[in-house]
Structure 1
Amino acid sequence: MRILVLGATGRVGSHVVSLALRDNHHVTAVVRTPHKLNICHDNLHIIKGDVTDKHNIEAAMKNIDIVISALSTDGTTTLTKSIPVILDAMTKENVKRIITVGTAGILQSRLDPGLLRYQSSESRRTTTFSAQEHHQVFELLKQSKMDWTIVCPTYLPDGVYTGHYRIERSFLPKGGTEISVADTAEFTYQQVQNTDYLKARVGIAY
Structure 2
Amino acid sequence: MKIAVFGAAGRIGSRIVKEALNRGHDVTAIVRRPEEYAYIHDHLKVAKGDLFRAQDVETGAFDQDAVVSAYSPPKDIPASTIAEVAVPLIKGLKQAHVKRLIVVGGAGSLYVEPGKQLIDMPFFPEEYKSTAEAHRQALKFYMAEQDLDWTVISPAAEIEPGDRTGVFRTGGNQLLKDGNGQSFITMEDYAAAVLDEIEKPQHIKGQMTVAY
Q: Taking structure 1 as the reference length, what is the TM-score of the superposition?
A: 0.90
CA deviations 1:36-59 (Å, max 9, x no partner) are 432112322222232112332221
Extract structure 1 runs of 4+ deviating beyond 3 A: none
SS in 1 for 2:139: helix
CA contact (8 A) 1:104 1:172 kept: yes
Aligned to 1:89: 92
Q: Distance in 2 between matches of 1:140 and 1:199?
A: 12
The counterpart of 2:154, out of the listed 149, 152, 158, is: 152
Matches of residues 160-175 of structure 1 in structure 2 within 5 Å? 160-174=163-177, 175=181
Q: Distance in 1 between matches of 2:12 and 2:153?
A: 11
Q: Distance in 1 between matches of 2:152 and 2:101?
A: 9
CA contact (8 A) 1:30 1:51 kept: no
CA contact (8 A) 1:14 1:37 kept: no
SS in 2 for 1:21: helix
Matches of residues 107-186 of structure 1 in structure 2 within 5 Å? 107-110=110-113, 113-121=114-122, 123-127=123-127, 128-145=129-146, 146-153=148-155, 154-174=157-177, 175-186=181-192
CA contact (8 A) 1:69 1:99 kept: yes
What one-letter code is carried by the residue in structure 1 that aligns with 2:131?
A: S
Matches of residues 1-206 of structure 1 in structure 2 within 5 Å? 1-75=1-75, 76=78, 77-110=80-113, 113-121=114-122, 123-127=123-127, 128-145=129-146, 146-153=148-155, 154-174=157-177, 175-206=181-212
CA deviations 1:11-55 (Å, max 9, x no partner) are 111111112222332212221122443211232222223211233
The percent identity for this pair of structures is 31
Q: Distance in 2 between matches of 1:151 and 1:176?
A: 19
Q: Taking structure 2 as the reference length, what is the TM-score of the superposition?
A: 0.87
CA contact (8 A) 2:62 2:97 kept: no
Q: Distance in 2 between matches of 1:91 and 1:55?
A: 11
Structure 2: unaligned runs, 5 residues or longer: none
CA contact (8 A) 1:105 1:131 kept: yes
Q: Distance in 2 between matches of 1:192 and 1:13?
A: 14
Aligned residue-pair number: 203
**Further displaced range: 76-85 or 158-167:** 76-85
Q: Distance in 1 between matches of 2:173 and 2:94?
A: 26
SS in 1 for 2:108: helix
CA contact (8 A) 2:56 2:92 kept: no
CA-atom RMSD in angstroms: 1.8
Q: Distance in 2 between matches of 1:105 and 1:156?
A: 12
CA deviations 1:150-198 (Å, max 9, x no partner) are 2111211211111222222111113233211101111111111122122
Q: Quote how far apart the aligned CAs of 1:81 are.
A: 2.7
Structure 1: unaligned runs, 5 residues or longer: none
